Amino acid sequence: MNVLLLGGGGREHALAWKLAQSPSLTALYAAPGNPGIAECAKLVTINADNHEAVALFCKVNDIALVVVGPEAPLVDGLADSMRAEGIAVFGPSQAAAQLEGSKGFTKDLCERAGIPTGAYVRTTALDEARAALTRFQPPYVLKADGLAAGKGVVIAEGIEQAEIALADMFGGQFGEAGAEVVIEEFLSGEEASFFALTDGETILPFGTAQDHKRVGEGDVGPNTGGMGAYSPAPVLTAELQQRAIDEIIRPTVETMRAEGMPYSGVLYAGLMLTADGPKLIEYNCRFGDPECQVLMMRFQGDLVKVMLACAKGELAGIEAQFAEDTALTVVMAAKGYPGSAEKGGVINLGEAEAEGAKVFHAGTAMKDGALVANGGRVLNVTAMGANVTEAQAAAYRAVDAVQFESGFCRRDIGWREIERENNR
């Protein structure tokens, strides 16, 4: 069976690597891909914005499944265009992708379905937003409604800072995404991610993870797309996972179906583990990056088969097996990230993969025969171990084997869980 994978980051390299191991795969194509993905797929130039071109490519190349990595094409309706042409696609429709594409949509859905989440107000007017602040306690959580490449959330310590942030949002800081704003109750607790595949009806739990969003060690400094992650996340105990399914995932899937927007694909729930139990912070309609990298290290089944079953509404009876060991990934970024990152720095992967570690390419390119940095997050150095402590040690041994002068990474990925392992 032939598969087309769309995307070109570390998440897609991990997906490509796993898809390429599937017994049911004949040929894997990827667009745009990257030099790492090129090792396991044939790179092709198709623009995901051009739905007709994607469909035509699929027809000509007998593609049985399209796997969409990032959220933007899904929010843009690519999955609908594929389905209209009779092409199976892993990823939700435009209507269902609103779960990521509109924070207000998700908050309203939570309210209708009784899903635990922070109290909120959504508004399209600055004066109304400012007035609404008085209904919340500091710190104030302010979110641009639409997609803002992970940058649309501001946590303001005081009212003045909140008012400035609101003025910026309505002033166009996040473009169209900020034309509507959600103000939300601040939730305290530890964050963890829960993943489930669903075909709109069957729910298949697909692992847990925790990531480190801040650029600095100890989780300080500006937000990033994620500087590292590990899976599983032991804080999400079996009991908490069951609560997440019963109280958050299932009501979401059922409500979406009942309202004529069945959700198909991966549902990635960002959870806050509060004193009252898990509460939804946000949904994403795609795998996390770099969470996907650690999930794929642990996933043991035939990914083509599972994704195709999901796409075709045949998930009932399908199982997902994951290694019990922990996978941990360290993001090597280019200096300057998350601000303007230095491009073109030469990378030598050396013996990084010698001990079973895997280096996924996130933002790399080939230039004059050399591998160079071509983005903020550049490499995802990923390793396995019996627990987080051991997986971390293995990942940093691999990191230390990489030569990347203009890069940097955090040295403490997994610290929270390692502290708990030390105290056990």
Select from 36, 152, 251, 288 the one that contacts ligand GLY (CB under 6 A): 288
Tell which residue, 313, 258, 263, has the closest CA to residue 284: 263
Residue numbers 201-220 binding ligand AMP by CB under 6 A = 213
Select from 100, 289, 302, 417 the one that contacts ligand GLY (CB under 6 A): 289
Please choose which of ligand GLY, ligand AMP, none residue 221 contacts, taking the beta carbon within 5 to 8 angstroms, the exact cut-off set by kind. none
Select from 76, 85, 191, 342 the one that contacts ligand AMP (CB under 6 A): 191
* Under rule CB under 6 A, residue 412 binds ligand GLY: no
With respect to ligand GLY, which residue has the nearer C-beta, 58 or 281? Answer: 281
CA 300/CA 283 separation, integer angstroms = 25
* Under rule CB under 6 A, residue 141 binds ligand AMP: yes
CA 413/CA 193 separation, integer angstroms = 16
Tokens of 241: 């996972």
Which region, judged by CB under 6 A, interacts with ligand GLY, from 136-144, 169-177, 281-289, 410-418?
Answer: 281-289
CB of 151 to ligand AMP, least distance (A): 8
Q: Is 1 exposed, middle or buried (0-12, 13-18, 19+ CB in 10 A)?
A: middle
Tokens of 273: 């583990």
Q: 321: how many CB neighbours lie within 10 A of its CB?
A: 10
Question: E-assigned strands of 199-320?
Answer: 203-211, 214-216, 220-223, 228-231, 265-274, 277-284
Instruction: Classify the C-alpha dihedral 410-414-420-421 as positive or negative.
Output: negative
Which long-range CB contacts under 8 A does 26-31 form with residues at least 24 apart? 26/1, 26/2, 27/2, 27/3, 27/61, 28/2, 28/3, 29/2, 29/3, 29/4, 29/5, 29/57, 29/61, 29/63, 30/4, 30/5, 30/6, 31/4, 31/5, 31/6
Residue numbers 172-231 binding ligand GLY by CB under 6 A = 211, 225-226
Select from 4, 181, 281, 349 the one that contacts ligand AMP (CB under 6 A): 281
CA 312/CA 278 separation, integer angstroms = 31
CB of 243 to ligand AMP, least distance (A): 18
Please choose which of ligand AMP, ligand GLY, none residue 100 contacts, taking the beta carbon within 5 to 8 angstroms, the exact cut-off set by kind. none
Residue numbers 134-153 binding ligand GLY by CB under 6 A = 150
CB of 115 to ligand GLY, least distance (A): 19
CB of 63 to ligand AMP, least distance (A): 32
* Under rule CB under 6 A, residue 187 binds ligand AMP: yes
Which region, judged by CB under 6 A, interacts with ligand GLY, from 133-141, 285-293, 325-333, 405-413?
Answer: 285-293
CB of 222 to ligand AMP, least distance (A): 12
In this structure, are residues 318 and 309 in contact, taking their beta carbons and an 8 Å threshold?
Answer: yes
- Strand 42-43 and strand 27-32: the pairing is parallel
CB-based contacts of 400, cutoff 8 Å, min separation 6: none
- Strand 190-198 and strand 265-274: the pairing is antiparallel
Select from 7, 8, 118, 363 the one that contacts ligand AMP (CB under 6 A): 118
Give the residue at shortest CB distance from ligand GLY.
226
End-to-end CA distance of the chain: 47
Counting residues that bind ligand AMP (by CB under 6 A) gives: 13
Q: Is 328 helix (H, G, I), strand (E, B) or coil?
A: strand
Which region, judged by CB under 6 A, interacts with ligand AMP, from 178-186, 201-209, 224-232, 254-262?
Answer: 178-186
Tokens of 321: 């097996």
CB of 122 to ligand AMP, least distance (A): 13
* Under rule CB under 6 A, residue 325 binds ligand AMP: no
* Under rule CB under 6 A, residue 270 binds ligand AMP: yes
Select from 145, 184, 247, 289 the one that contacts ligand AMP (CB under 6 A): 184
Q: Calculate helix-pair angle for 250-258, 103-113, nearest 10 degrees.
A: 100
With respect to ligand AMP, which residue has the nearer C-beta, 154 or 362? Answer: 154
Tokens of 184: 């939300």
* Under rule CB under 6 A, residue 291 binds ligand GLY: yes
- Which residues are at the interface with ligand GLY (CB under 6 A)? 150, 211, 225-226, 284, 288-289, 291
- Which residues are at the interface with ligand AMP (CB under 6 A)? 118, 141, 150, 153, 184-187, 191, 213, 270, 281-282
